[in-house]
Amino acid sequence: MKTSASTSASTSWSSRIGFILSAAGSAIGLGAIWKFPYTAGTNGGAVFFMLFLLFTVLIGLPVLLAEFYIGRKSGKNAVDAFRTLAPGSQWPWVGRMGVAACFVLLSFYSVVGGWVLNYVVHAFSGAVHPGADFGALFGATIASPANALAYQAIFMLLTVAVVQGGIAEGIEKANRYLMPALFILFLVLAVRSLTLPGAMKGVEFLLKPDWRYLNPQTMLIALGQAFFALSIGVSAMITYAAYLGRDQDVFRAGNSVMWLNLLISLLAGLVIFPAVFALGFEPGQGPGLIFVVLPAVFMQIPFGRLLFGVFMVLVSFATLTSAFAMLETVIASSIRDNQGKRRSHTWLIGTAIFIVGIPSALSFGAWKELTFFGKTVFDLWDYLITAWIMPVGALCIALFTGWCQQKTDVLQHMREGSSAASALPALWLAALRYLAPLAILLVFANTLGWI
């Protein structure tokens, strides 16, 4: 029997693959394509990737499955899910925190999404060309108030246009096209990058461990990347899983989402590092890798302008699919199963998110002097969400599912529709109860500079 949130075809996933592609789309965003390559580049490449893989499997996946449990078992939005599973308690505040986090996160994420869209235009308009000063171009792009706000607005319009259509007709339909396109374009670019003279140095950097980088700091950074790579901690996966039927195999779905995310991270590395090494650049360039270094790399490759344009198009795909999940988390909590309100609420909330994001968009130009605790508005929101709300949210989800729900009920529910080995649910729950909270506390402490 399906949950109450998924009894209507218009408010449920039409297929398992639709859910997997959409959940993977939520996870595969700038974290996989932008943050993973530059973080790997500054932390030893292969050792970092190995640790990231290990921590994603052992820690990220258990928390992801916990969000699937909460969403599917309750069949409700992020707030009502906790109210349903723990009536009369304070646990719904975890859902409220997740909804608020998605609202704020999308307000500044849409700014970066706007930069990506702007770079698509740069690529095809000729602004990206051999000999250009790419540092100056990026600086001008993010400092221009008109550009920043216009492209942020376009990004939000695209997000709202999809989410207003609901689950099957909006989010799922978009992801059915965007996610396969993302993988195909990445494969094409990876093949081109790998055929450059000297490209194997980049492959070795990504896949051949240099054990000098195996240290506590690299382990903690890799743990943090694994933790954030799956979109856990802000109730987005609770929201998506609420539309999932009881006949679906959540273990298989979780594994698929995790491996798709890891594959995109690997492909991003295979696109970027071979080209970087083949053309004499350094891998440890930091956050400017995509916007400043990669244009220079592509300009030295035949058909470089076209290939860079294609690369930015697929980055925009990944950015949008994550934005869909953030906005849907807020919308689902607002309409509370009343699909008649979806269109109007999506436009109203989307507009509110854009307005709240204006100070973030102006943080690199007109309002760059406006700071709080030494941080611009953009940096402040980013710090509050990633250093505080996401770790706390994920910790609460692990504790709620692992310790506050009846163990037998949790295991029984997770076995519904599952073809997994009989021991797997018990192993998952053990990892969720012990490994995940300890790892999240370590990431939290490291982010705050306590260790």
Lowest mean pLDDT among 23-37, 203-217, 369-383: 23-37
| pLDDT tier at 289, thresholds 50, 70, 90 | confident
14 has a pLDDT exceeding 80: no
| pLDDT tier at 343, thresholds 50, 70, 90 | very high
Tell me the pLDDT of the chain averaged across its residues.
89
**Average of pLDDT values for 395-415?**
96
pLDDT in tens, 76-130: 999 999 999 999 999 999 999 999 999 999 999 999 999 999 999 999 999 999 9
Q: What percent of the chain has pLDDT over 90?
A: 57
| pLDDT tier at 7, thresholds 50, 70, 90 | very low
2 has a pLDDT exceeding 60: no
Q: Which has the closest alpha carbon to 227: 78, 21, 27, 427?
A: 27
8 has a pLDDT exceeding 60: no
**Average of pLDDT values for 156-174?**
88
Distance, CA of 267 to CA of 289 (rounded, Å)? 15
168 has a pLDDT exceeding 90: no
**What CATH number does the domain containing 316 carry?**
1.20.1740
Q: Which residue range(s) make up the domain with 237?
A: 4-447
CA distances from 82 to 76, 77, 366 (A): 9, 9, 42
Q: What percent of the chain has pLDDT over 70?
A: 96
Burial-class residue 246 by CB neighbours within 10 Å (0-12, 13-18, 19+). middle
**Average of pLDDT values for 254-266?**
91
pLDDT in tens, 33-86: 878 888 899 899 999 999 999 999 998 999 999 999 999 999 999 999 999 999
Distance, CA of 291 to CA of 118 (rounded, Å)? 11
pLDDT of residue 433: 97
CA distances from 156 to 55, 182, 310, 324, 351 (A): 33, 20, 21, 10, 8
Crossing angle for the helix pair 92-125 and 134-143, to the nearest 10 degrees:
130
Distance, CA of 78 to CA of 181 (rounded, Å)? 30
Distance, CA of 78 to CA of 74 (rounded, Å)? 9
1 has a pLDDT exceeding 50: no
| pLDDT tier at 286, thresholds 50, 70, 90 | low
| pLDDT tier at 140, thresholds 50, 70, 90 | very high
pLDDT of residue 397: 97
**Average of pLDDT values for 164-176?**
83
pLDDT of residue 285: 67
3 has a pLDDT exceeding 50: no
171 has a pLDDT exceeding 80: yes
Q: Which two tokens stand for residue 56?
A: 């994603």
pLDDT of residue 360: 96
pLDDT of residue 12: 80
Bridge partners of 371? 376
322 has a pLDDT exceeding 50: yes
Tally of domains in the chain: 1
Query: Looking at per-residue confidence, does 286 or 355 come out higher?
Result: 355
CA distances from 98 to 95, 151, 231, 389 (A): 5, 26, 11, 8
Q: Are 31 and 264 in contact (CB under 8 A)?
A: no
**Average of pLDDT values for 268-290?**
81
Q: Which has the closest alpha carbon to 20: 325, 253, 263, 260?
A: 253
